Amino acid sequence: MLHRLKRTLLSLLTLSGVCCSGQALADEVQVAVASNFSAPMERIAADFTRDTGHRALLSFGATGKFYAQIKHGAPFGVFLAADAKTPARLVAEGDAVADSRFTYAFGHLVLWSTQEGAVDDQGAVLKTGDFRHLAIANPKTAPYGAAAIEVLTRLDLREKLQPRFVTGENIGQTHQFVASGNAELGFVALSQVVVDGQLTGGSAWLVPADLYSPIQQDAVILTQAADNPAAQALADYLKGAAARGIMLTYGYSFAEGAGLCLKGSTLQPSC
């Protein structure tokens, strides 16, 4: 009887060891994600956990604000920015792993309204002025906001329309201004209004890429997560076919100058 009890205890301890060692293989990483990438990243994070066992704990916000938080010691392990210069700056300042920086996507800017027919496919509504409020993200902290200002400057409309600006803290809040009706139209990320290659509603003008600098979105592993297996695993996963497949359905591309076209409510790879 005693021998059998010892044998049972040994088996339980062995199983416990297996369980614990399995858990040890799975880690988690806190990820700072630019607001424009919220929807695809939520799907990618779920698949990442399913496929690797690791967990990505997501926070969404403006790239510039995340930079400030990281400099003040925020416990992020991976940073998915909406530009290339902020991750490069973190590398130069010693806050990110030098050889970990890579471009995970190129974003696209769109002028959008929840109202059918309010935005034409040439963006002429900006000149006709049949609206009271135009939402843009803060150009000082949000790259998509900076792109919007660049577009308006090139169209010689910035000074004329500036009194109508409704400025969002990040591109997520900017999208909400339009979605809620607080602004009749606004410059948002294509990924916020397209799902599975289809415009989710309203009307939109996909801004020509030659009207603003490429929105190259880089990711980087932060120095404090240099030895975190989940951080490296996530970086690798973002470069893979599964993650890129999700990004494509939200209107991201993977090369500078890649052409996209919005025909009615359908996103096409070229015009």
Those residues with Cβ within 8 angstroms of residue 196's Cβ, 6 or more apart along the chain or in another chain: 249
Residue 6: what pLDDT? Answer: 41
For helices 38-52 and 241-249, the axis angle rounded to 10 degrees is: 160
Q: Where are the beta strands (DSSP E) in 114-174?
A: 134-137, 165-168
Residue 258: what pLDDT? Answer: 66
The reply to whether 173 falls in a domain is: yes
Q: What is the pLDDT along the chain (271 residues), one digit of tens a residue?
A: 444 444 443 444 333 443 333 344 579 999 999 999 999 999 999 999 999 999 999 999 999 999 999 999 999 999 999 999 999 999 999 999 999 999 999 999 999 999 999 999 899 999 988 899 999 999 999 999 999 999 999 999 999 999 999 999 999 999 999 999 999 999 999 999 998 888 999 999 999 999 999 999 999 999 999 999 999 999 999 999 999 999 999 999 987 766 677 777 888 776 6
Q: Are residues 228 and 101 in the same domain?
A: yes
- Integer Cα distance of 265 and 203 in angstroms: 8
Q: Are residues 40 and 84 in the same domain?
A: yes
Q: Are residues 102 and 218 in the same domain?
A: yes
By residue count, the chain amounts to 271
User: DSSP letter at 242?
Assistant: H
Q: Is the separation of the CB atoms in 238 and 103 below 8 Å? A: no
The reply to whether 7 falls in a domain is: no
How would DSSP label each residue in 74-92? Answer: ---SEEE-SSSHHHHHHHH
Q: Where are the beta strands (DSSP E) in 53-181?
A: 55-61, 78-80, 102-107, 109-113, 134-137, 165-168
Residue 210: what pLDDT? Answer: 92
Model confidence, pTM: 0.83
CATH number at 58 reads: 3.40.190.10
Residue 23: what pLDDT? Answer: 40
Q: How many domains does the chain have?
A: 2
